[in-house]
Structure 1
């Protein structure tokens, strides 16, 4: 009798598993463009994650200077930031697939030159600055185009699962890429790791060529007739017309400084210097953050439609901030790994809701400009934030700075939730 009553429960579990699996398979079955966009960018993201691990090795082998490494990252970010307003205008006036193809080709050339100089043993720090700056500018052109193409490919019937699948895949690669980069640079050479990155752009280029045939380009009438000034005004007008969009961009221009600054500058210090933990413990904690983000993607992708998204999005970001705040008073590795998982889960929930709402609310003909304004708000002040957080940690202490900036981020998010347009956004 017990076996008979347990059988339906087993069937229900199996049905639930099949339903969840079908949700994530749907984008591949219902959208012909999705597999090409997903695969191409997944492969190139793997190459980029390998390069970002190898780049510090290259810099330290040439100069041995942490200051130089900081300037190298600034050389990447500043052209990226400067390019964003220009790229938004370009993306909305020209074929977005062609923009992506062009940037993939140019990034392939830049990375190939870097690999060639490494193999020849003739790379200088000055040349590295130039190559990194060019690469950053191309990223600043590529990302708004990629965001605009996603908005076209991720149609309403697959939007949640497509965004979730993309982010889950990226997080999985983020776990694999650093390890692969470490293996390549340890057992082969930095040149081979950089060469792998170059080859990934070839794969991405091939996928985009196939994608181009599936997404015809139609230039909007406003793009044909309006000037540059009017184009930018239209992008601001789209944001101004929706409180959810512009308030969130403004709030996260501050929150990103607080959260990203802590994650980039002070959390490595917390593990290595303050708590004197082995490097592998920090690596495990970062892996836990990725695992938390993957779980968030799985949860979000389970449903085609979520309600009360304003509360869920900001609640996720607040949970991420609380995790960062508690890290300042958590002395053991297990607790820190759990907090890293919560941090990754919370910020991914926000990111997925933000991505889907952008795709819903922003008109296709203005998406490039709005996406570039969003990225500009997110990235423009990050270099300043990194410097301020590092300086303040030397003045008042690292754990105090972690607690302070985490609290500022949480407070900004709570204040935003007091606005009805944010709290009631559905």
Structure 2
């Protein structure tokens, strides 16, 4: 791992990418705790209110993601990503100010969430295609692992910091800290726009937006393994987002010690994220999709343990396992897509990947609150865990998933 870090640090602009992702993920670790308990503390707010705020943040991501992929491929991934981070920081500052001034409303948070979701929808495909611009193909898996390591260590610190800031200073200051991290990250990313990008339009060059969208769809849909994993992971996202955005905070409040317990669970999962990328950095399985999808079975294991609920130390242990599975899969998946898809189409293919993977996420968040009110918290959590399990197991039925082999490169 240290050798990989030293090698990557010598590559121009890799440090910018690494530090930017680490700093913004520090804020990302703070925000789930702050926002969830901030919404629940608003007078008259309940589980449905939390669902409304969270779905407002996620639904626009889907609506803008495919468009965002085409923008990133044609007009520059670094500019899209950098300006997106800076704009997002302004919106989070608005939400922070409402809590600091003791005037938050669910409506305000929904509006801020919608605008933030629009920015994230454009931002994500740009981010997913950034690393191949900076590092050579034979170092992509190491680069994805190291960026993931920095991001996850920061997220781990952020989850702990989030619980402490909310407990001692309040939700507003926690969100203000989150906003500052995005501002710094955006400033670090913008200089990477100096690097050349295949397929990027030159000044004055005309482009056909609809044709570009269709080309991206052809690259995506022609790969059966890509389509199968995206569909399967859509069901995992449905279940995971229900718990991440709504059910987790409710279960922590009802079965454990509220914000502190939820912060500890997120921290345990973040520790798993770190372990996952460390393992992935050394792992070179011949069939990366089979291995990485098998690792994601730790996700429903955690969801079942949390739903029952098992004793808190066991819940924490399964949360670590879920984190390992998620980020081991993430590194191998990103590397597989980056090496199997043409570089000039990468953001567009990632936009279809993200759209399919996250398509059911907003639905899960929207349904979480009402289902809890109708059927109860535990039955809703158990069903979500079952959905995740079925989604993962179904991908193994597709031959191209089982047979896909990793690219091999010489040491030079």
Q: State whether TM-score is above 0.5.
A: yes
* Distance verdict in 2 for CA 1:226–1:247, change over 3 Å: farther
- 1:422 matched residue in structure 2: 401
* Distance verdict in 2 for CA 1:310–1:52, change over 3 Å: closer
1:278 is paired with a residue of what secondary structure? coil
1:335 to 314, 324, 329: 314
1:158 is paired with a residue of what secondary structure? helix
The equivalences for 1:33-182 within 5 A come to 33-66=13-46, 67-120=48-101, 124-182=105-163
* Distance verdict in 2 for CA 1:382–1:158, change over 3 Å: same
* Distance verdict in 2 for CA 1:357–1:271, change over 3 Å: same
* Distance verdict in 2 for CA 1:37–1:397, change over 3 Å: same
1:407 to 386, 402, 408: 386
* Distance verdict in 2 for CA 1:330–1:132, change over 3 Å: closer
1:232 to 213, 217, 238: 213
In 1, are the aligned partners of 2:36 and 2:246 still within 8 Å (CA)? no
* Distance verdict in 2 for CA 1:230–1:25, change over 3 Å: same
Measured against aligned partners, the alpha-carbon deviations of 1:230-262 in whole angstroms (never above 9, x if no partner) come to 222111111122112111112211222133334
- In the superposition, the TM-score normalised over structure 2's length comes to 0.86
- 2:196 matched residue in structure 1: 216
* Distance verdict in 2 for CA 1:218–1:161, change over 3 Å: closer
**Paired residues, what number?**
402
2:329 to 335, 339, 350: 350
Measured against aligned partners, the alpha-carbon deviations of 1:299-325 in whole angstroms (never above 9, x if no partner) come to 11124x331212201111224334434
- 1:301 matched residue in structure 2: 281
- 2:410 matched residue in structure 1: none
* Unmatched tracts of structure 1, length 5 or more: 1-19
In 2, are the aligned partners of 1:93 and 1:224 still within 8 Å (CA)? no
Matched, 1:377 2:377: no
In 2, are the aligned partners of 1:289 and 1:343 still within 8 Å (CA)? yes
* Distance verdict in 2 for CA 1:400–1:58, change over 3 Å: closer
In 1, are the aligned partners of 2:21 and 2:147 still within 8 Å (CA)? no
2:286 is paired with a residue of what secondary structure? coil
* Distance verdict in 2 for CA 1:335–1:221, change over 3 Å: closer
- Root-mean-square deviation (CA, aligned residues, Å) is 2.9
- 1:8 matched residue in structure 2: none
* Distance verdict in 2 for CA 1:256–1:188, change over 3 Å: closer
Measured against aligned partners, the alpha-carbon deviations of 1:255-314 in whole angstroms (never above 9, x if no partner) come to 2213333454444555543xx3334445433322222221121111124x3312122011
* Distance verdict in 2 for CA 1:317–1:114, change over 3 Å: closer
Q: Distance in 2 between matches of 1:381 and 1:118?
A: 30
- 1:15 matched residue in structure 2: none
Q: Distance in 2 between matches of 1:401 and 1:292?
A: 25
Q: Distance in 2 between matches of 1:393 and 1:95?
A: 43
The equivalences for 1:356-395 within 5 A come to 356-388=335-367, 391-392=370-371
2:269 to 286, 289, 297: 289
Q: Distance in 2 between matches of 1:157 and 1:86?
A: 30
In 2, are the aligned partners of 1:148 and 1:367 still within 8 Å (CA)? yes
In 1, are the aligned partners of 2:23 and 2:181 still within 8 Å (CA)? yes
Q: Distance in 2 between matches of 1:394 and 1:196?
A: 33
- In the superposition, the TM-score normalised over structure 1's length comes to 0.83
Comparing 70-79 with 136-145, greater Cα deviation is found at: 70-79
In 2, are the aligned partners of 1:24 and 1:301 still within 8 Å (CA)? no
Q: Distance in 2 between matches of 1:202 and 1:264?
A: 24
In 1, are the aligned partners of 2:28 and 2:155 still within 8 Å (CA)? no
Give the CA deviation at 1:402: 4.0
- 2:228 matched residue in structure 1: 247
